[in-house]
Amino acid sequence: MSKKNKAFLYNFLFFAVLFVIFRVALQYFTSLQGFWLPVVSAVSASFLAPKFQATQTKEGEKLFMKSIFSKEIKEIK
């Protein structure tokens, strides 16, 4: 599997997991209903999910991760 595909898959998986967690938590703890429940869940998940990116370097293609909780960009091996 190429690094681009891994980055796409990791982005999707982290977003999906956080989306489900936020949706269930918001449904349980708040009175949001209808259209607003998935919208708030999606915005929260996209803001808090780590971002993965495949980049071409001199050594070859590498996978990097950036999170709002960390200032540094980490390489995923």
Q: pLDDT tens digits, residue range 3-12?
A: 999 999 999 9
What local confidence, expressed as pLDDT, does residue 17 receive? 98
What local confidence, expressed as pLDDT, does residue 62 receive? 94
Q: pLDDT tens digits, residue range 10-62?
A: 999 999 999 999 999 999 999 888 999 999 999 999 999 999 999 999 999 99
**How many Å apart are CA 38 and CA 27, to the nearest integer?**
10
Residue 49 is classified by DSSP as S
Residues with Cβ within 8 Å of residue 33, at least 6 apart in sequence: none
**How many Å apart are CA 5 and CA 59, to the nearest integer?**
19
**How many Å apart are CA 31 and CA 11, to the nearest integer?**
29
